[in-house]
Chain A
Amino acid sequence: MASKKEHVPFSGTPEQEAALKKVITELKDTKGALMPIMQQAQEIYGYLPIEVQTMISDETGIPLEKIYGVSTFYSQFALQPKGKYQISVCLGTACYVKGSGAIFSKLEELLGITNGECTPDGRFSLDSCRCVGACGLAPVMMINDEVYGRLTPDDVPGILAKYK
């Protein structure tokens, strides 16, 4: 059974499109503007589906295949929507040696999804990340912008319950 949220229909609004066009007009003449445009587009839409990439291509004249190439190269760009609560577990070296692997497994077990996936109800998505720079608090995970440190696997259910 696929727990992935695949082929989510694109549902952009005219407001989002206007915001994107404004960003593009502002940045178009800057040198190397593609990445800043894509970063802001992702902020507007939450992810970068092919429809948004096509819009960027149409407005800037940059070929779609180049935009697709860039969007698939960097881990920050998401082609699939993320969950309402984005969980990222730090698997940087300091967190790893302090047991963040077990935290990650616990989340996989509780949510029934794995790295890069989203729960069917769209509530949680799970990602591993490389070092949030809070190594002093290892092991660390983030849910949206909230950081949880000095974790043990036993802490995980209680933390998830806050987001139900």
Chain B
Amino acid sequence: MYRSHVLVCGGTGCTSSGSQQIMETLKAEIEMNGLTEEVSVVQTGCHGLCALGPIMIIYPDATFYSMVKVEDIPEIVSEHLLKGRVVTRLLYNETVTPSGNVKALIDTDFYKKQHRIALRNCGIINPEVIEEYIGTGGYEALGKVLTEMTPDDVIQCLLDSGLRGRGGGGFPTGLKWKLAKQNDADQKYVCCNADEGDPGAFMDRSVLEGDPHAVLEAMAIAGYAIGASQGYIYVRAEYPIAVERLKIAISQARELELLGNNIFGSDFSFDIDLRLGAGAFVCGEETALMTSIEGNRGEPRPRPPFPAQKGLFGKPTILNNVETYANIPQIILHGAQWFASMGTEKSKGTKVFALGGKIHNTGLVEIPMGTTLREVIEEIGGGIPGGKKFKAAQTGGPSGGCIPAEHFDIPIDYDNLISIGSMMGSGGLIVMDEDDCMVDIAKFFLEFTVEESCGKCTPCRVGTKRMLEILTKITKGQATMEDLDKLEELCYYIKDNSLCGLGQTAPNPVLSTLRYFRDEYEAHIKEKRCPAGVCKALLSYRIDADKCRGCTLCARNCPNNAISGTVRNPHVIDQDKCIKCGACMEKCKFGAIYKK
């Protein structure tokens, strides 16, 4: 029996900030102080507050230390663990009240509006120990399903819960399972989409790293419901920690016979294999993913036939994403009504968002559907750093769109986001401020789709390339208003004629920025000006002669010797020589250099 547990985050974010060394030092230090019998060190998954990593939480009083360094460990051990004194300087400042008391993590702005279902075990259990998952009710849902419920009961429960796919499309999960169950076949498959390709979204990685058994359990439940005995998890090779923890989880589940033959003594058998993705965004599309598991170029197939009829290896198949699966054991245990009581009319439950970009609290949050963008950005996210003005929030990645400030109070759910020209996608939420150029952002996404288009259908392969060319012209100030019309026309053409979701949604970043920020496009075209000061071809750096003190710092730092002037006299930038790197502006101590 330990008197204290020290939780150290071992998610990708904190590992990148050095949490592995912290854990090793901590263990050594604990041993040196003879505390090994009293204090246990637990490596957990992600707590969500990646911006403040590496994170350490010490129980029983849940003291939350942030940005811990290796040098801090001796102090933590001698002060906190030996003497019971909190190391106040390392506390997450949100947990300290003005009077100096420590408040619970759950009461901080970042956590208090969250409701964790998919992430319930992330940051709490050790994902590499199956007993810890079982200790929090793990595999109970699978037991209940196999001993008390028929496959139809399971499907009905999911239908009643209103759960919709968390990977982007929002298709009702229960309905997907029902269709696959109806098709008789000698073999069926259950697949898990863990090829999280949307740049800026990392909730699936977090679930796989922090609670891998939840996904395995849900896949077994799915196997029972539709009559499949084999599952595949298609996971990104770029997530080495997630792959490792999945391997461990699968072998532990097999050992305890929670995977394999005759699970829980029933006649249901189910096993799971891993398949590693190889870096192709299109493989997030369901038919492309299956083609890739089969060992081919990951090109999508026309639908129908739908995967529920003819999917992987030509057999009926269901494919759900990681976050969707992570919800399922909880729905089975607590009932459809419990789940359906959260969220909005058509979007039930919670959704995990990855907050990124120009926001204080970058990280993962799980909130009930229907929370407003304002609550997410201002309250949970802590607002925008540097006193800058909010411009847009991008959701849905390369398939989604930008939401402007005028929709700040819209409740976030599947249908509302579509009605304002964006989409839920997998839940990436990137905040942009006044310094971001919306044309440049649209171009950024088009570069992505051009690179990731698989080339099978012409509208996507050729169309997106033409769109990118026009966007490039606009950012260089070489486009005409006719180009803008052509761009818009192309958007609709590609949307209507592409084979798969990648092409059909590729124009969304352009359409949504055209809808809300047309003036920025027009400024680039008509005035040859980039209002946010991003597009290099349209910029020039100038020196304000009134503010310049002639310190020569800028001239000395210019890589191209484009700045001339004498000491204590205003300097001048030679526009022909200037390469617009901005080094002078960064170095100037008097704010004398400005972009025009």
Contacts and interface: CB of A to CB of B under 8 A. Distances in A.
Interface stretch (B26-34, B290-298, B512-520): B290-298
Interface in B250-301: 275-281, 292-298
B295 A133 contact: no
Contact of A93 (B12, B15, B357, B362): B357
Contact of A97 (B205, B298, B430): B430
Given A70-B297, A130-B199, A75 B362 contact: no
Nearest to B240: A145
Given A31-B313, A76-B278, A93-B444, A133 B428 contact: no
B364 to A, nearest CB: 9
A132 B238 contact: yes
Contacts of B294: 31-32
B330 interface: no
Interface in B407-432: 428, 430, 432
A130 B518 CA distance: 28
B202 A39 contact: no
A160 interface: no
A134 interface: yes
Interface in B162-211: 196-202, 205
A136 B13 contact: yes
Given A92-B199, A135-B356, A39 B430 contact: no
B217 to A, nearest CB: 23
Nearest to B297: A73
Given A74-B279, A76-B237, A138 B362 contact: yes
B199 A137 contact: no
Q: Which of B51, B279, B356 has the most CB of A within 10 A?
A: B356
Contacts of B196: 133
Nearest to B201: A131
A60 B366 CA distance: 46
B23 to A, nearest CB: 16
B295 A35 contact: yes
A69 interface: yes
B63 to A, nearest CB: 21
A143 interface: no
A73 B494 CA distance: 22
A135 B50 contact: yes
A114 B277 CA distance: 25
Interface string A117-152: 000000000000111111111101000010101000
A136 B51 contact: yes
Contacts of B394: 93
B354 interface: yes
A35 B297 CA distance: 9
Interface string B452-482: 0010000000000000000000000000000
A147 B14 CA distance: 11
A98 B277 CA distance: 27
Nearest to A132: B238
Contacts of B199: 91-94, 130-131
Given A31-B294, A32-B275, A34-B295, A134 B281 contact: no
A96 interface: yes
A134 B430 contact: no
B200 A76 contact: no
A136 B52 CA distance: 8
Interface in A81-103: 91-94, 96-98
Interface string B368-400: 000000000000000000000000001001000
A36 B235 CA distance: 12
Interface of A: 31-36, 38-39, 66, 69-70, 73-77, 91-94, 96-98, 129-138, 140, 145, 147, 149
6 contacts: A32-B275, A94-B200, A96-B444, A133-B202, A133-B205, A136-B362
Q: Which 8 A-B pairs have the closest CB atoms?
A: A136-B50, A92-B199, A94-B356, A74-B278, A34-B295, A147-B16, A76-B278, A75-B279
